Structure 1
Amino acid sequence: MTDEQELSAIARGLAGDAPTPDIPAAETTTQDVPDWLIPDKLYDVLKWCGLVLLPALGVLVQTLGPVWGWSWADAAATTLDAIGLAVGVVIGASALNARRSTK
């Protein structure tokens, strides 16, 4: 079977017209990739940064800004809080996917 015929057969199978042909294992290129893509070590670092470091830095900048006359304190604190939120969303999604895949 040529590549074009094989692709046509696969397309028909996806459309429900015909069964998909078996593709030999040697031709597959995907590896077993877990549903979550963050390794444990990176997850721990991101969790610490998102839940401890970035919120603490945001509060520190927001608190010291007026004392030291930093005109950029509000913008910096908002940026730190937004980055912390984004990190929290990423690690939360990773934790949910990891939990789903283990069940």
Structure 2
Amino acid sequence: MKMSNKVYNILKYALMMFIPAVITLIGTLGKIYNFDTETIILTISAIATFVGAITGISNVNYNKNNK
């Protein structure tokens, strides 16, 4: 699977900066307001892991074709 450089950069930024910040925000607000955040945090983490794997596969394919 190949993706454009723009899409790759957006996904990379989201996976490295945005998603961890959102998970931290949800977890912190859950503690403050005393509600269970486990399900939503696990869901976001699973999706981020899947997207990270797809992004990694795209990166490997890109590097393989540019050698």
2:21 maps to amino acid: A
| Identity within the alignment, % | 28
Partner SS state of residue 38, structure 1: coil
Q: Aligned Cα RMSD in Å?
A: 1.3
Q: Normalising to structure 1: TM-score of the pair?
A: 0.59
Q: Do the aligned partners of 1:38 and 1:94 also contact (CA within 8 Å) in 2?
A: yes
Bigger RCO (CA 8 Å, 6+ sep): 2
Which consecutive residues of structure 2, in runs of 5 or more, have no partner in the other structure?
Answer: none
Matched, 1:98 2:67: no
Which consecutive residues of structure 1, in runs of 5 or more, have no partner in the other structure?
Answer: 1-35
Counterpart Cα distance in 1 of 2:16 and 2:56: 11
Matched, 1:59 2:5: no
1:24-63 matched pairs, under 5 angstroms? 36-63=1-28
Q: Do the aligned partners of 1:58 and 1:78 also contact (CA within 8 Å) in 2?
A: no
How many residue pairs match? The answer is 67
**Residue 47 of structure 1, CA deviation:** 0.8
Task: Decide which structure has the larger Cα Rg and report it.
Answer: 1
